[in-house]
Structure 1
Amino acid sequence: MSEVQQRLEKMMVDSGAYLKGHFLLTSGKHSGHYMQCAMMLRFPDNAAYAGAQIASALSGRQVDFVVSPAVGGLIIGHEVARALGVPFLFCEREEGNMKLRRFPVPEGKKFVVVEDVITTGGSAEEVREHLEAAGCLWEDTCCIVDRSGGNHRLKRDPLSLWKVSFPVYSPDDCPLCADGSKPYKPGSRKVDEA
């Protein structure tokens, strides 16, 4: 484990962002582990550190702006943009679809999508597709934690600071359910939202 991963794990544990229990994930699957980066990012020093590390990983690449899906990517996206010295934009759901609602489209400009945790990559991929369709040029998708295990909807694997893989179960085959516990739904998105 790298020094960055060790520091991130400590920040996640110390802030209560790394949870163990029985969780209902956005995908509809169950897991005994959940990472709620908002708990870590509520501390500005943690957010600044993670943002600077992602920006450092993008060194040498042209990035004209950073964009994130609301709500999970807002804080970390802003910190990455600050570290890169570029504008920060965000997309939000409108009638179920991610859209750039509050900002003019920076057509012809290169962007990175920044998310806190990628499990399915659904929101981040929607943001990429929306901005590419509007004439922007996608450079990469980045996150603090990639917990997808390679099973995501992204165009390619995200640039991440920490890759983790936890077992996930279908509700019908969940050993946690078999033991009698009920899953808890953390996070900000409804189940089965892509």
Structure 2
Amino acid sequence: MKHLAVFCGSSFGASEIYTLGAIQLGKELARQNITLVYGGSSIGLMGVLADTVLREGGQVIGVIPKILEEREIAHKGLTQLITVETMHERKAKMADLADGFIVLPGGAGTLEEFFEVFTWGQIGLHQKPCGLLNINQYYRPLIQLFDHMVEQQFLQKKYLALAIVEEKPDILIERLADYTPPTIKSYEKDKEITVK
């Protein structure tokens, strides 16, 4: 893998453990000579991650929409900063540049980015791996939700493999490199339901 896109929070979170996790991932990306592709911000976990990769001698490509660049949160020291018009273009560009995806702790925006690439993988728009770096068990509720989706038959069990979950960056990257995508989503005819 030459490029990994990382989705993560523009805040630091409630515990220093999230910052430490972002630093560990940044060091591992630089050590393995993997270019970081991320949202281009200088704040929160996003800024920590980019700063770490750069400090360790790695390469960082940021993709930021004009609305956020104008709020003066764009990182000015990146290897490359790409400015796009919209949030949609940002996600599309990041996905195009990346060989895979890693999700650090974050809020609604981070989850929205994750679910989009997860869904794209389900329907065969890409065959790139996606990993959750489960720092401090942050994603435990999401993993439980996935199990609930399978149990309630809204998610085919084979698609659990689309979200590789690990607590250590080196192991996660190793598993991403070994990823084999599941078959493309198949649709079963809906059951006949009679409404009385």
Higher helix share: 2
Q: Which has the higher relative contact order, 1 or 2, with Cα contacts under 8 A spaced 6 or more apart?
A: 1
Higher strand share: 1
| TM-score (normalizing by structure 1) | 0.35
| TM-score (normalizing by structure 2) | 0.35
Which has the greater radius of gyration? 2
